[in-house]
Amino acid sequence: MQLAVLVPTYMEAKTLPKLIERLEEVLRDVDFEVIVIDDNSPDGTADIAEALFGKFGNIRVIRRPGKLGLGSAVVDGLVAARAKLIAVMDADLQHPPEVLPKVLEKLRSGCDVVVASRYVKGGGVEGLSLWRRILSRGATVLAHISLPRAGCVADPLSGYFAFKRDVVHGTKLNPVGYKVLLEVLAKGRYTKVCEVPYKFQRRAEGRSKLGTLEVLRYLKHLHTLMRETREYRRLLNFVLVGLVGIFVNESILWFLTEFLSLYYVLSAAIGSEVSILSNFALNEVFTFRDLKADSSLKSVLSRALEYNWTRIIGIFLGLITLYVLTTFLGLYYLLANLVGIAVGLAWGYATSIAIVWRS
């Protein structure tokens, strides 16, 4: 057995037979099995899957007693799978099976994880409202920033992906999270991740379940993953480096003004620049050490330059926040400044990951 296709189902009686037929067609030359993990769907999805086994012979059904969630369904499927290559896809035909051969080809040519991606050239999303598109993009950006390892792909929230079994060998995938790919990217062992484009299809049957609860669940999942992969520690490092920067900044301002009698605004400008550079050096060595791909002088200099301009924009964003909150919303200026500093900090952290130390 080369490949196991894990298909979690809940109420997919109408689409599952079509999915299986198309899978059998496109994977004609592949030694594969489909593992359907069904949560006791009242519409009899599991029975239909078993009937399909009678027809094709390479379908297994795992029946679970009740709706236990998509994440744990995939994990249960993974435990049951015997193949070296694992693919995960939805049963509602939003993930076209015709993409799988390309995914498989990538796995065979050296990629450890292959993501069927909506957000690379040739990919896309069909029939989603503007609001859901915005939500999906926002969630993706948030994933990139909170879990820098997920930044190696454009679509880390895709539910359609495949990987070599060894990637997750010995790692504990948290079944609470329903974005299983995030778990794999954040915790797995891999060197090469690839993407193939696909067009997310309009939901043909049934209703979408996205709501406030799903959004909150997603945030909780990110939080858990950040804790498990020590990303909060990185954030703390970044803040500590920022504090050191304030100290450097003040010291230089004081020294240049008092001892070299420089005009204080000039001293402050020099102090700011030196503190930006010293912050860069500290972040390079401590905070983002694991992310930098290249430590040649040229790329260190280019990172320093990027850090510089993103910091300067950050300072402006802080000042604009201060001005707007004070002048237009009547907030006390010292309080408004704290909000401004927080905005600058968030910007600094986000751009450090998304631009400067982008993996």
Ligand X SMILES: Nc1nc2c(ncn2[C@@H]2O[C@H](COP(=O)(O)OP(=O)(O)OP(=O)(O)O)[C@@H](O)[C@H]2O)c(=O)[nH]1
Which residues bind to ligand X, rule: CB under 6 A?
Answer: 8-10, 12, 37-39, 67, 69-70, 73, 90-92, 94, 203, 208-210
Min separation Cβ 324 and ligand X, Å: 37
Amino acid letter, residue 113: V
Non-local CB neighbours of 242 within 8 Å, separated by 6+ positions = 279, 345, 348
- Nearest residue (CB) to ligand X, 67 versus 227: 67
Find which of ligand X, Mg ion, none residue 284 binds, CB within 5 to 8 Å per kind. none
Residue 180 to residue 186: CA distance in whole angstroms: 10
- Nearest residue (CB) to ligand X, 41 versus 272: 41
- Nearest residue (CB) to Mg ion, 9 versus 267: 9
Find which of ligand X, Mg ion, none residue 10 binds, CB within 5 to 8 Å per kind. ligand X
Find which of Mg ion, ligand X, none residue 39 binds, CB within 5 to 8 Å per kind. ligand X
Find which of ligand X, Mg ion, none residue 209 binds, CB within 5 to 8 Å per kind. ligand X
CB 315 within 8 A of CB 273: no
* Residue 100: how many other CB atoms lie within 10 Å: 26
Return the ∠ at Cα 89 (arms to 41 and 202), rounded to 5°.
Answer: 85
Min separation Cβ 8 and Mg ion, Å: 11
- Nearest residue (CB) to Mg ion, 94 versus 279: 94
- Nearest residue (CB) to Mg ion, 76 versus 92: 92
- Nearest residue (CB) to ligand X, 69 versus 197: 69
Residue 239 to residue 113: CA distance in whole angstroms: 33
Position with the least CB separation from ligand X: 208
- The 10 Å CB-count burial string (b at 16+, else e) for 165-177 is eebbeeeebbbeb
CB 3 within 8 A of CB 23: no
Find which of Mg ion, ligand X, none residue 73 binds, CB within 5 to 8 Å per kind. ligand X
Min separation Cβ 77 and Mg ion, Å: 17
Non-local CB neighbours of 167 within 8 Å, separated by 6+ positions = 112, 113, 184, 188, 189, 190
Min separation Cβ 35 and ligand X, Å: 11
Min separation Cβ 55 and ligand X, Å: 20
- Nearest residue (CB) to ligand X, 67 versus 192: 67
Among residues 42, 26, 139, which one has the least CA distance to residue 34? Answer: 26
Strand partners, 116: 196
Min separation Cβ 48 and Mg ion, Å: 18
Min separation Cβ 116 and ligand X, Å: 13
Find which of ligand X, Mg ion, none residue 231 binds, CB within 5 to 8 Å per kind. none
Residues found near Mg ion in the complex (CB under 5 A) = 90, 92, 94
Find which of Mg ion, ligand X, none residue 208 binds, CB within 5 to 8 Å per kind. ligand X
- The 10 Å CB-count burial string (b at 16+, else e) for 213-252 is eeeebbeebbeebbeebebeebeebbeebbeebeebbeeb
Non-local CB neighbours of 53 within 8 Å, separated by 6+ positions = 59, 60, 61
